[in-house]
């Protein structure tokens, strides 16, 4: 028999419900009313008979004394191979009809596995994006954060990563989690995956920006539960894409404020660190398979020291920063190699040639940045010979790391380019060796590799 309670208090998007002593629901359990058309999620146990829940979805107005039913479970998550090729909302309902998907369901957060793989076998996943493959190679099971303010290209870059990796690695499974983003972006991504025949290996879990904070914060663990099932039970390598982890934090903050919890640094919830770690600590490689995750993180005011960004930083293997200064120079992707970092930059993982090239490239770019103020005051011609060479190499490197994307072909009218990691490294080494030092940096703008560009020696310069 269903355990029932009644609403005794309502404020904001919080509902207080009274149950009998022996039928109190647990935290994260769903409650329903209005014939199962309105959903609440338990967030706090007030006393032995009372709980507080947040509103997930309402089909009609909620009133005092309304009867509430305890479902005794949390969100249902569609899992397994049968769930692929569809889009799901936070209820776990498929949004696309006639797709032939008949998923099994499990409860959210019910199969958390903390067992990690501690081997030394590091398999690199090529993205075909020069800036990523060179400066921060992706290792299977790693977590990459894509940081940036509004409009610098986070979502476009993520779409390109999805497209390129699936183009090269056919057997991967994709899970895309859209938390608090525009529905237009989800539709565009679906259309791209569908037209590229990639949707058959993909699931999408979407909670739009106009959904309740409870829905926006829950969609992330829902999608991660689906990824964990594919890794641990289907023994698959999973690519997990989360857009945008900041919206998850924001939704958690809204719920925290509604519950009357005191804010912490920067106005964020006092549980910020644990909220993030409860998500991030589930994404890794083990003996069953791997979850390699790519997460966009919005930066309020382009501030890398924002508490939300710092909380996520601590859990990532790579931090890719998209800079407004780079985009202002017409450098796309607007990647900032000096602000970005990765713990895959290790000689044992990427090899000595690649490692040395990264160190030298960063040295040149850092020196160039230091010289920019000098050039503004004195001009380029007043630099010494060595500094002029460094500036030229830096400008050539900046131009080289621009790239046309497949995802932007329809408005740039330029074909996308996939560049192998080997070609990227060799191309950078040729620039570092000064083989193009007498040529204009613009010859490298939006090209693939530079192996077809004649060197100074070949041009008799």
Question: What residue ranges in 286-436 does DSSP mark as E strands?
Answer: 290-298, 318-321, 341-342
Round the CA-based radius of gyration of the chain to a whole number and report it: 25
Residue recorded with tokens 């369901």:
105
Judge whether 35 and 58 are in contact, CB under 8 Å.
no
CA distances from 354 to 176, 318, 428, 436, 457 (A): 31, 17, 10, 20, 24
CA distances from 449 to 225, 356, 428 (A): 39, 19, 9
Q: Of 138, 168, 139, give the one whose Cα is nearest residue 419.
A: 168
Helix, strand, or coil (residue 392): helix
Residue 185 is among the residues annotated as catalytic for this protein: no
Residue 244: is the preceding peptide bond cis (ω within 30°)? yes
Judge whether 119 and 321 are in contact, CB under 8 Å.
no
Q: Would you tell me how many other CB atoms lie within 10 Å of the CB of residue 426?
A: 16
Q: Of 280, 325, 269, 274, give the one whose Cα is nearest residue 148.
A: 325
- Kindly name the residue from 181, 185, 228, 280 that is annotated as catalytic: 181
Residues in a beta bridge with 94: 88
- Kindly name the residue from 44, 99, 182, 366 that is annotated as catalytic: 182
- Kindly name the residue from 52, 84, 143, 154 that is annotated as catalytic: 154
Residue 154 is among the residues annotated as catalytic for this protein: yes
For residue 15, the number of C-alpha atoms closer than 13 Å in the C-beta half-sphere is 30
Please report the DSSP string for 432-448 in residue order.
HTTTTTTS-GGGGTT-S
Angle CA(343)–CA(327)–CA(314) in degrees, nearest 5?
A: 25
Separation between Cα atoms, residue 285 and residue 283, nearest integer Å: 7
DSSP letter for 60, please.
S
Separation between Cα atoms, residue 334 and residue 332, nearest integer Å: 5
For residue 425, the number of C-alpha atoms closer than 13 Å in the C-beta half-sphere is 19
Q: Which residues are catalytic?
A: 154, 181-182
């Amino acid at each position: 028999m269903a355990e029932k309670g009644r609403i005794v208090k309502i404020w904001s998007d919080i509902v207080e419900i009274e149950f009998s002593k022996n039928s109190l629901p647990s935290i994260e359990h769903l409650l329903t009313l209005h014939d199962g058309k309105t959903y609440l999620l338990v967030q706090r146990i007030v006393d032995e008979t009372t709980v507080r829940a947040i509103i997930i979805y309402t089909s009609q107005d909620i009133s005092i004394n309304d009867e509430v039913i305890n479902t005794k479970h949390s969100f249902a998550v569609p899992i397994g191979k049968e769930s692929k090729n569809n889009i799901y909302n936070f209820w776990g309902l498929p949004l696309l009809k006639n797709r032939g998907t008949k998923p099994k369901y499990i409860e959210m957060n019910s199969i958390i596995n903390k067992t990690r793989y501690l081997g030394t076998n590091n398999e690199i996943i090529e993205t075909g994006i020069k800036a990523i493959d060179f400066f921060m190679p992706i290792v299977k099971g790693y977590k990459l954060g894509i940081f940036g303010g509004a409009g610098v290209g986070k979502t476009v870059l993520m779409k390109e990563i999805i497209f390129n990796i699936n183009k090269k690695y056919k057997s991967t499974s994709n899970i895309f989690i859209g938390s608090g983003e525009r529905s237009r972006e989800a539709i565009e991504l679906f259309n791209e995956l569908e037209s590229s025949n990639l949707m058959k290996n993909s699931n999408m879990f979407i909670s739009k920006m106009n959904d309740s904070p409870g829905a926006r914060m829950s969609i992330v663990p829902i999608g991660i539960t689906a990824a964990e099932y594919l890794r641990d039970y289907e023994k698959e390598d999973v690519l997990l894409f989360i857009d945008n982890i900041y919206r998850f934090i924001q939704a958690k903050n809204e719920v925290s404020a509604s519950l009357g919890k005191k804010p912490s640094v920067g106005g964020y919830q006092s549980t910020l660190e644990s909220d993030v770690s409860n998500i991030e600590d589930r994404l890794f490689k083990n003996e069953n398979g791997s979850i390699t995750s790519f997460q966009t993180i919005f930066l309020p005011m382009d501030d890398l020291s924002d508490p939300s960004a710092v909380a996520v930083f601590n859990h990532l293997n790579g931090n890719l920063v998209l800079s407004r200064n780079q985009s202002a120079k017409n450098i796309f992707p607007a990647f900032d190699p000096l602000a970005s970092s990765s713990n895959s930059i290790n000689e044992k993982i990427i090899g000595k040639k690649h490692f040395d090239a990264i160190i030298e490239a960063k040295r040149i770019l850092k020196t160039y940045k230091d010289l920019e103020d000098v050039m503004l005051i004195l001009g380029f011609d007043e630099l010494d010979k060595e500094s002029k060479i460094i500036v030229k190499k830096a400008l050539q490197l900046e131009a080289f790391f621009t790239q046309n994307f497949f995802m932007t072909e329809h408005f740039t009218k330029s074909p996308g380019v996939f560049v192998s990691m080997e070609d990227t490294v060799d191309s950078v080494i040729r620039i570092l060796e000064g083989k193009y030092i007498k040529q204009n940096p613009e010859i490298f703008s939006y090209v693939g590799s530079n192996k077809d560009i004649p060197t100074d020696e070949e041009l008799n310069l």
